[in-house]
Amino acid sequence: MIPNQWYVILSSKEIRKNNVTGVRRMGENLVVWRDSQGRIGVALDKCPHRGIALSKGRVFNDHLQCPFHGFEYDPTGRCKLIPANGKASSVPEHIRATCYPVVEQNGFIYIWYTPEPDKNNSCNISDLPPVPWFTDLGEELVWNAFTDQWKSHYSRAIENQLDVVHVPFIHHTTIGRGIGPVVNGPYTETNGNSISFWPSNEQDTGQQPIPSAKMVKPEKKSTYLTFIFPNLWQNHIMDSMRIVVAFVPVDENNTIFYLRTYQKMVKIPVFKDIYFAMTTLFNRIVLHQDRRVVETHQPQATQLKMDENLISGDYPIILYRKKREELKLGK
């Protein structure tokens, strides 16, 4: 995991008002709750009193209430009431649930992930950078979503979506039909924590592929892919249609894809539903073509230096690994 980053962990729709749920993310058991005002809290799923799973509790008085002894916690993790001590008693400062800073935007729930969260912090987000997102996704685009779980480290799942070499082989019956195996470039651009690239495959006629360093940005080609660290990806198919994926880390061996199809071509309710049903079916087929192979990666987690022999067409993956390593080292 890359520390000190905003990670998408859930869809907003998964957590209703006055709802508490337990999820596994980043290899940790977390409790997520929403109070009657719509405010979200995320903490380690462990009551600091006796170690009970807070996810078995409920929202009471707009606090997360432990099911065992009724201790109540606010979204910052601070204990607001110890029933056994009575309402008139003050609560010791050291009794806090270990929480994560949380932001809800773009229909997602983000947490600021650090491997050793400080249970004494206030989960204040004012000093943290803004959450990552794609600024070109306008409100004119409507979207539909589904999830898919892979038995794969999230870094390998991400690399698969940066891989232009595999498309004519894994996807020869779907999106790779008619695409040539020779990979020119691809042309790439980096901007802060984002990587964008324009695929350029062609049929093999005996030519040598053009390396990325000699590629120029296509002027008329609207299809390109962008990845924003740590776990967001967009396939800009055309201005009127995009695919967005949040690669949500469950643990070292499992990842949940939160996949959205954005479009502005079909907005009439019945026809829109039919359109999204068809795209969901197609996208599942494409994902499962990938999943069958990606789940066999050895080792699971990617590293900057490992026992692999990369080629020029793997340039986006090389860039991803270099940037990932820099962020892991805090650069």
Each residue's pLDDT tens digit, 84-102:
999 999 999 999 999 999 9
Contacts of 104 (CB under 8 A, 6+ apart): 12, 40, 110
The backbone region for 14, taken as left when phi is positive above 0, alpha when psi lies in -120 to 50, beta otherwise, is alpha
Please state, as a whole number, how many other Cβ atoms lie within 10 Å of the Cβ of residue 43. Answer: 28
Contacts of 168 (CB under 8 A, 6+ apart): 176, 179, 180, 181, 201
Q: Which two tokens stand for residue 156?
A: 């390998």
**pLDDT of the residue at 119:** 59
Q: 118-132, 215-229, 245-259: which has the minimum mean pLDDT?
A: 118-132
Q: By three-state DSSP, how is residue 138 classified? A: coil
| Alpha carbon distance 309, 32 (integer Å) | 42
The strand ranges marked E within 161-231 are 182-183, 187-191, 194-198, 201-202, 224-228
Asked if 162 and 276 touch (Cβ cutoff 8 Å), the reply is no
**pLDDT of the residue at 127:** 84
What average pLDDT does range 197-206 have in this prediction? 95
H or E element: which one contains 220? none
The domain segmentation of the chain, as residue ranges, is 5-113, 142-328
- Tell me, yes or no, if the pTM score tops 0.85: yes
Tell me the pLDDT tens digit for each residue of 35-88: 999 999 999 999 999 999 999 999 999 999 999 999 999 998 999 999 999 999
| Alpha carbon distance 244, 227 (integer Å) | 10
Q: Specify whether domain 142-328 bears CATH 3.40.50.300.
A: no
Residue 120 has pLDDT above 60, yes or no: no
What average pLDDT does range 206-232 have in this prediction? 92
Tell me the pLDDT tens digit for each residue of 152-190: 999 999 999 999 999 999 999 999 999 999 999 999 999
* Amino acid (one-letter) located at 284: R
What average pLDDT does range 211-229 have in this prediction? 90
CATH class of 5-113: mainly beta
